[in-house]
Amino acid sequence: MVALAEAPPRIAILEADVLMPELQAVYGRYGDIFTRLLNAGAEAACLLTPQISSWDIMNHPEKYPDPSEYDAILVTGSRTFPYMIRGVDAQGTQPTRIRHGSML
């Protein structure tokens, strides 16, 4: 019997800040930076490449992802503190865990 591969994690990145123009010209937006980091981590750990989408909530505050469609939501926060909301409850409405960390 052949084992089926599990689905890759679905991650939404909420861009809640913007980089200074001179940094954005080099590194892209926060969503680009975190996408590279998450993909590199998955590759290094031999995990499935996550399906990642970025949401510009600074310029489009009316557009947010449906939490029930994602396994994790990363909120970039400010230039110094990103937040990771891991998972949602069974109804897909409430975060089950929030992690606070510092930016690279």
C-alpha–C-alpha distance, residues 14 and 103, integer Å? 15
What mean pLDDT comes out for the span 63-67?
Answer: 91
Average pLDDT for 54-71:
90
pLDDT tens track for 40-61: 999 999 999 999 999 998 888 8
Domain-embedded: residue 34: yes
Report how far residue 61's alpha carbon sits from residue 63's, in angstroms, rounded to the nearest whole number.
5
In a domain, 4, yes or no: no
Instruction: Supply the range of the domain harboring residue 69.
Output: 10-100
Do the beta carbons of residue 14 and residue 56 sit within 8 Å?
no
Q: Is 5 domain-assigned?
A: no
Give domain status of residue 77, yes or no: yes
> How far apart (Å, rounded) are the C-alpha atoms in residues 4 and 87?
23
Per-chain mean pLDDT for the chain: 79
Q: CB under 8 Å to 41, separation ≥6 — which residues?
A: 47
Please tell me the total count of domains within the chain.
1
79 bridge partner residues: none
Q: Give the model's pLDDT for residue 93.
A: 54
Task: pLDDT band for 2, please (50, 70, 90 cuts).
Answer: very low
pTM of the model: 0.72
**Greater confidence, 88 or 10?**
10
- Tell me whether residue 24 is in a domain: yes
In 17-80, which ranges are E strands? 51-56, 72-75
In a domain, 2, yes or no: no
The string of pLDDT tens digits covering residues 13-39 is 999 888 889 999 999 999 999 999 999
